[in-house]
Amino acid sequence: MMCRIGAIKSKNPVQPSMALRLMLPQQEGHDNSGFAMVMQDLYGVFGLYKDKPLLSMACTQQGGHLVEEYMDAHRFVKMSEWLPVPDKRKGLNIQTMPYYIFRTYDYPEYVTDPDEREALLLDTRLALRQMLTETGQGYIYSFWPDVLTLKEVGDPMDIATYFHLWDDNGCLVAKNIIVQSRQNTNYEIIRYAAHPFFLQGYTLCANGENTFYTKNKEFQSSLFRGYIGFESDSQTFLYTLHYVLHELKWPIPYYKHVITPLPFSEIEHREDKDVLLSIRQSLAHLEINGPNTIIAGLPDGRMMTCCDSKKLRPVVVGGDENTVAIASEVCGINEILPDRDTSKDIYPDEREIVVIDNDLEVKRWKQ
Amino acid sequence: METVKVQDVAVDDLPWTIEYHSERCTLCGSCLASCTFGAIKPVVRRQSVTVSEGNQPKPAHRQIARTIIEQVASFANACRGCGMCERVCPNHAIRPVRNPDNRRTLLSRDSGPIKRGGRTNLNAQRTLDKIIVGRISQMTDPSLDAQRHTFDMRAPLGRVLSARELPFSMTDGHITMTHKAPPVRWIYPLIFSDMSIGALSTRAWEAVAMATAYLNERCNIPIRMSSGEGGMPVKLLESEHLKYFIIQIASGHFGWNRIVKALPRMKVDPAAILIKIGQGAKPGDGGLLQAEKVAPHVQAIRGVPKATLSSPPNHQGLYSIEESVQKMHLSLNAAFGFRVPVAIKCAASSTSVSVYNNLLRDPYKICGGLFLDGIQGGTGAANEVSLDHTGHPIVSKIRDCYLAAVRQGLQGQIPLYGGGGIGLTGNAAADAFKMICLGANGVFCGKILIQLLGCVGNEHGRCNSCNTGKCPTGICTQDPRLVKRLDVDRGAQKIVDYVLAFDSEMKKLMAPIGNSSLPVGRSDALVSTDKAIADKLGIQYVC
């Protein structure tokens, strides 16, 4: 499939309408079937609660109750809540859920260690997800400090109208937004199948078809308890990113070596060939071998992008001194940053990994 | 009433009968000279002929004595259907014809169990032909171009560690190795397997070895050849070419006296060591080289007298998998300084998954590969009862082993190689590709190599006389006159050409599923037209 994907990283907090303007020009034909975004480094209504885990969910009334009961029973303390007031005008192309809940909690007092907190947030999200899936009462997208996820099925323009995202009302504001405007039209429409996907601070969206999906999935299923779902073939990219950076704690450039290893003929001539061969053979099942572009956000706010080893799916990075945008097609960046110096746009090649740090400095590594 | 001795063996009891046209025969004798089995003989028979030689018709009836070719009515000299007589006959006067009403299986056990070479003639069913590469890149993602794109067709051989076990340390954003990991070779996913000098004529073995070297050095195809259990020429052991060879050790340890003595003089390491526990054609049975084939050079290389050489069914002194790991794997690893992968070859069996699980859990991380050999594998000599009635099909067994590893998250740690019937129909690339999608890292093949050299044997009872020392193509014999029939250079070229075609065909299969690396375990690329096969292998059923 060919999702259009994008990301904005700005020194000045921005609102979702900018993400929409990044995405809409990239629309082609009938592929605008959903809208999903992950916002990180929040201002607006959640600006005061940056260190508190924020739960993003869509559910029925009963689902809401179930979650509240669970959170109370596990001694999470509710801090704040923001419920979007929807625009329910007729004729909008959106498949709504009854409630959209964004709520911050304080950690239970018995957990203070940062690693234990990370684990607890994941386990809580997994438990809530299982509960809501079994009862059919809703969807949990993320539960993490300073991270908000909104996903829905329908026309992105209409979804934005429904949630008043065009209004720039100052409620949802963030320095980092990763966005995608298509549901998974090739397969069953499942809300969990829409990118961006989120896991313990890592956010990722990808386009293209993951031809090694089966291999990736079979390998990841036993690697880490958070690697679940697999509703989309692109989730595996997130899990590999999480595994390489969070679990193995390898430096970022090695992610590229894992997913698109160098050909043996090139490895042979490298000084670090022992390392590269070891990675290639130990993580052979995490290789991707189809057409893909990846845009990801890291827990510390940095963003990264890279594409497949044949550059079958392109990606562009462009920006000015205050904002950098990444998009699968340049027309989106032209829309939101028309006055930037386009000669400085970066078209990462098939061997490159590009990271944008929090000062908007761009680092590029060649594999 | 005529007396008939029905207990005598008659020509029509034999599996092949000779169709002979005396009127076309010029009595040149070529067929007699070509038949290695003594299946035909010249005889003088009385014939009645009527001729008219004058200007006017004047028929005259005469009885004459005439030489003709006749089939020998004996199982010891039975025609094997090899067709050498037909090849050499200048006038198409003679050829073997299959005899469906033969009584071979009943009458040919006079001196014990039937022995022969070749493959099973009973279980030649083809699971792989009911599997199709059915997931094609059509608009969802681009197919690749088999001619234009580059393909990374390599398979690991050696113990692969999990990522967490890698001896890595981080400095300045770079990973470095703190110490060595177990040796892993990245080789071509097709291995020339296990035919010994002894089973093969020295020249036939040489032809396969020449093809191996040529493919490596001229075609950039890092194919590896297993020595088989019969040792290797010392000159080869001490040459740079040793790196293309996998040295096999089987229960008879044949040839290892010379190999061990050559160790200090080896310039390069061999590709791997392969411990043979069993083979698919005759599982549970040791190697067998009948005295007919134990020629002086075979005696020298193996260090044995002229006698039938039976390798024991088991490695002496080994009694468990753990013990095998501790004794054989460790000692062979140590012998080569832990620089050479040590793999193991077993006959596929209902117990293969247990073996694989056990090896995967070995704490020394010392098993560098599991070669599983299915019932359709070939052999130089075996009891026919073993060939036809023992063994296990390879396709589901490779899949079972792969999925057992998947369930534990250990897939890829001990590379899986499947063999036994790869290329049975001549289409080795399709077979290999499907096996790889089901979880094999690569495949090994032997029989098709000798078929490329000229072997005419097949799964329908043709020839299969590898055990007799009378191989009519000079491949499985040590008789110097017969060996001359094999043109080593042309034979090697045949193998090279086949592998080059194999390589192109693999690309032709990888390209439409959009992959430039081997799709190991990519079962989603396969579909089956047989529901039972689809269910068993966990792939899509289609019709």
Cβ pair B514:A279 closer than 8 A: no
pLDDT confidence bin for B368, thresholds 50/70/90: very high
CATH 1.10.357 fits B11-52+60-112, yes or no: no
Over residues B303-307, the mean pLDDT reads 89
Q: Which of B150, B170, B180 sits opposite A263 (nearest CB)?
A: B150
Is residue A185 predicted with pLDDT exceeding 60? no
What residues in A contact B140, CB-CB < 8 Å?
1, 186, 209
Decide if A331 touches B, using CB distance below 8 A: no
CB–CB of A253 and B175 under 8 A?
no
pLDDT digits (tens, 9 = 90+) for B242-261: 999 999 999 888 999 999 99
Distance from CA of B163 to the nearest CA of A (A): 5
Which pLDDT score, from 0 to 100, does residue A31 have? 67
Question: Contact B184/A277, CB-based, under 8 Å?
Answer: yes
Calculate what percentage of chain B has a pLDDT beyond 90. Answer: 84
- Residue A225's pLDDT is 97
- pLDDT at residue B505 greater than cutoff 70: yes
Closest-CA residue of A relative to B404 is A218
The whole-angstrom separation of Cα B451 and Cα A82 is: 75
B140–A209 CB contact, under 8 Å: yes
Q: Is A365 on the interface with B (CB under 8 A)?
A: no
DSSP B384: H
Chain B nearest CA to A246, separation (Å): 12
Cβ contact B412–A279 (<8 Å):
no
pLDDT (tens digit per residue) in B401-454 = 999 999 999 999 999 999 999 999 999 999 999 999 999 999 999 999 999 999
Residue B339 structure tokens: 């620089």
**Is B174 or A32 the better-scoring residue by pLDDT?**
B174
pLDDT band at B51 (very low <50, low <70, confident <90, very high): confident
Chain B residues in contact with A309 by the CB 8 A cut-off are 516
> Which residue from B minimizes the CA distance to A251?
B173
Rounded to an integer, the average pLDDT of A47-74 is 97
Task: Write out pLDDT tens, residues B139-171.
Answer: 888 889 998 889 999 999 999 999 999 999 999
Could you write out the DSSP letters of every residue in A253-312? HHHHHHHSPPPHHHHTT-TTHHHHHHHHHHTGGG---SSEEEEEE-TTS-EEEEE-TT--
Complete DSSP assignment for B116-138: EEES-SS----GGGGEEE----S
Answer whether B412 touches A (CB < 8 Å).
yes
What's the pLDDT band for A2 if we cut at 50, 70, 90?
low
Over residues A202-230, the mean pLDDT reads: 95
Residue B230 has pLDDT above 90, yes or no: no
DSSP three-state, residue B503: helix
User: Mean of the pLDDT values across residues B223-246?
Assistant: 95
CATH topology of domain B130-541: TIM Barrel (3.20.20)
Nearest to A264 among B154, B177, B180 (CB): B154
Record the tokens describing residue A316, joined without a space. Answer: 């562009």
| Nearest-neighbour CA in chain A from B408: distance (Å) | 7
Q: For A268, name the nearest residue in chain B, comparing CA atoms only.
A: B186
Record the tokens describing residue B384, joined without a space. 């026919």
Q: Are A278 and B181 in contact (CB < 8 Å)?
A: yes
- Predicted confidence at residue B54, as pLDDT, reads 86
Which of B162, B170, B515 shows the shortest C-beta gap to A251?
Answer: B170
Contact (CB, 8 A) for A285 and B411: yes
**Domain containing residue A315: CATH number:** 3.60.20.10
Q: Is a pLDDT exceeding 80 seen at residue A70?
A: yes
Contacts of A290 in chain B (CB under 8 A): 141, 514-515
Percent of chain A, pLDDT > 70? 97
* Contacting residues of A for B164, CB less than 8 Å apart: 248
Both structure tokens of B395: 């396709």
Q: Which residues have C-beta within 8 Å of that of residue B537, sequence separation ≥ 6?
A: B131, B395, B396, B399, B438, B523, B526, B528
Whether residues B409 and A251 touch (CB distance < 8 A) is answered with no
Are B363 and B292 in contact by the 8 Å Cβ rule? The answer is: no
Q: C-alpha B482: how far from its chain's center?
A: 21
Of A215, A263, A282, the CB nearest to B162: A282
> How many helices (H) and strands (E) would you count in chain A?
10, 17
Domains of chain B, by residue range, sit at 11-52+60-112, 130-541
B11-52+60-112 matches B130-541 in fold: no
- For residue A196, say if its preceding peptide bond is cis, omega within 30 degrees of 0: yes
Contact list, B523 vs chain A (CB under 8 Å) = 214
Task: Give the one of B150, B164, B406 whose C-beta lies nearest to A248's C-beta.
Answer: B164
| Record: contact B140-A279, CB cut-off 8 A | no
pLDDT, tens digit, for every residue of A252-311?
A: 999 999 999 999 999 999 999 999 999 999 999 999 999 999 999 999 999 999 999 988
Is it the case that residue B126 has pLDDT exceeding 90?
yes
Please indicate whether, in this complex, the C-beta atoms of A209 and B174 are within 8 angstroms of each other: no
**Contact call for A278 and B406, based on CB within 8 A:** no
- The predicted-structure confidence for B170-207, as pLDDT tens digits, reads as follows 999 999 999 999 999 999 999 999 999 999 999 999 99
Q: Which residues of B touch A215 (CB under 8 A)?
A: 519-522
Cβ separation of B181 and A312 shorter than 8 Å?
Answer: no
Q: Chain A within 8 Å of B139 (Cβ-Cβ)?
A: no
Q: Do A275 and B175 touch (CB under 8 A)?
A: yes
- Rounded CA-CA distance A62/A58 in Å is 11
State which residue of chain A sits closest to B518, comparing Cα positions.
Answer: A289
B chain contacts of residue A232, beta-carbon cutoff 8 Å: none
Q: How many domains does chain A have?
A: 1
pLDDT at A351 over 90: yes
| C-beta separation of A19 from A332 below 8 A | no
In the predicted model, what is the mean pLDDT of residues A132-152?
Answer: 97
Q: Chain A partners of B160 at a C-beta cutoff of 8 Å?
A: 281-282, 284
* Of B1, B129, B101, the residue nearest B426 (C-alpha): B129
Interface contact A287, partner B, CB < 8 A: yes
CB contact under 8 A, B515 and A212: yes
Q: Is the pLDDT of residue B478 over 60?
A: yes
Q: Nearest-CA residue of chain B relative to A261?
A: B517
For B373-394, the pLDDT digits (tens) are 999 999 999 999 999 999 999 9
| A263 close contact with B: CB closer than 8 A | yes
Is the pLDDT assigned to residue A189 strictly greater than 70? yes
- A264/B517 CB distance under 8 A: no
Tell me the C-alpha distance between B82 and B85, whole Å: 8
Contacts of B521 in chain A (CB under 8 A): 214-215, 218, 285
Minimal-distance CA residue of chain B relative to A258: B163
Q: Do B514 and A291 touch (CB under 8 A)?
A: yes
The pLDDT assigned to A184 comes to: 60
User: What does the pLDDT read at residue A183?
Assistant: 63
The mean predicted confidence, pLDDT, of chain A is 94
Distance separating alpha carbons of residues A117 and A103, to the nearest angstrom: 17
Question: What ipTM, to 2 d.p.?
Answer: 0.93
Q: What percentage of chain B carries pLDDT values higher than 70? A: 100
DSSP state of A71: H
Look up the domain containing A229 and give its range.
3-366
Over residues A234-241, mean pLDDT: 96
User: What is the torsional sign of CA A22, A24, A25, A26?
Assistant: positive
Q: Which of A218, A263, A277 lies closest to B521 in CB terms?
A: A218
- Tokens 């992968």: give the residue: B341
B246: β partners = B226, B272
Under a CB-based contact definition with an 8 Å cutoff, are residues B467 and B381 in contact?
A: yes
Write out pLDDT tens, residues A162-183. 999 999 999 999 999 999 987 6
Residue B304 is predicted with a pLDDT of 87
Q: Is A289 on the interface with B (CB under 8 A)?
A: yes
